[in-house]
Structure 1
Amino acid sequence: MRKILLTTLIVVLIGSGMTIGISAQERTVKLLESMQPKLFIWTTAIVISNESTERSLRPNIAINTNNSIHIVWQDITNLGGAGTDNDIFYKYWNATSAK
């Protein structure tokens, strides 16, 4: 018997100009649900950053041992006088205080 363990699936869409077509989203959901229908419980999307007015690139996500989420990405928005060169943006979600 083959067992597949899927621990975490996280999809992050960052950037004001980034969109996903509903057909692509539906196909992804159908594919995942066909693998294990009761395994996936989808939640409403959460906006993690609305400060950006420019491109957001190269997102990375990490989850620590407390299940808190750390997200970083590259952005050229002139936030806080940082200029329009590449800057690193960071967001943190504390799983402990969210309960």
Structure 2
Amino acid sequence: MDSATIEKVATTAVIAGAAFLASKIFETGWKITTKRPVPAEDADDVTLTSLVIFAATSAALAAVAQRYAYKGSQKYLAPKLAARFGVPQLKA
């Protein structure tokens, strides 16, 4: 594998893991704070307000987690890949 492929696969895995972890942490926090289960679209007792608040907050936290996971993976991977494969040369 070349360095670009390794970087893409590793970054994708880190971003997906960060989003999953942020979502699970938020779901747990929601359950503890509201003393209710996570709202689901098909549930009869869920208000539109709680559904929208949950979805918006969950998406925002996942986006922030993905951003910092990407930045962190680039900071960690770039020097290691450059040391192993060298600096990529641009083809003219």
Q: TM-score, normalised by structure 2?
A: 0.24
Greater per-residue helix proportion: 2
RCO higher in structure (CA 8 A, sep ≥6): 2
